[in-house]
Amino acid sequence: RLRKLFGRGRGKQAGKERERMLRLVAAANLSLGDEEYQAVRSSLALALAGILAWFLGRTGQGGDLVLLGAVLGLLLGLLIPGLAVKNRAKARAGAILRELPEIMDLLIVSVEAGLGFDAAITRLYEKNKSPLTTELMKCVRDVQMGLPRRESLKALAERNQVQELRTFAAALIQAEQLGVPIKKILRSQANQLRQAYRQRCEAQALKAPVKMIIPMVVFIFPVLFIILLGPSAEQIMEMF
């Protein structure tokens, strides 16, 4: 009932915003459709508004404050699901990006050992059910259910926000079209991923001195000033 009730007003929302949120829900690995997400969002908003209004009313607050609490709960309920989905999608994308070079190397070893591409992914998924292997296994299951590999790889790229994974899916699609051995594509992608990983590490290392300035100014420099200038300040105070 909630899905039907809150799904009727979805025509007013812009199509781009709706598609963006659906992509974030898919990137967060949540099995929620548009109506389900809006139902959860609206239900949480109404629940928070009612709880805050009831709590303020029980404490003997005025009507204006109760109304303000209800409005605040309504806004929080509308914002919290979106923020939670964004944070989950961002954390999952970071995990995929970190493990992509390692998984690529393991795929190369498995394929060179004689396993097929799908069998190699299945073996990795059985050993480690990480976010990346889960996404790759979804692609394999789509192929097993009759979906063309090209379409399954496109779906893999669409539901993830990691550019490196999208590039990998595009390379596999191109390899299938041109008949290039998948072993060469995996090795080429692994070299590119290792180079990109090295560049990200170097960039993070260059940012470290800038990030250290604030804690040094707040916590370290005051202590040094007290140690170095404390005796001098005491002598100056005795002179006056």
Q: What is the DSSP string of 115-159?
A: --HHHHHHHHHHH---HHHHHHHHHHHHHHTT--HHHHHHHHHHT
Q: How far apart are CA 91 and CA 39, in angstroms?
A: 24
Residues 134 and 125: beta-carbon distance below 8 Å: yes
- pLDDT per residue as tens, the chain (240 positions): 555 555 554 544 456 777 777 777 877 777 777 677 788 888 888 888 888 888 878 777 667 788 888 888 888 888 888 888 888 888 888 888 888 888 888 888 888 888 888 888 888 888 888 888 888 888 889 888 888 888 888 888 888 878 888 888 888 888 888 877 888 888 888 888 888 888 888 888 888 888 888 888 888 888 888 887 777 777 777 776
Query: How buried is residue 42: exposed, middle or buried, by Cβ count under 10 Å (0-12/13-18/19+)?
Result: buried
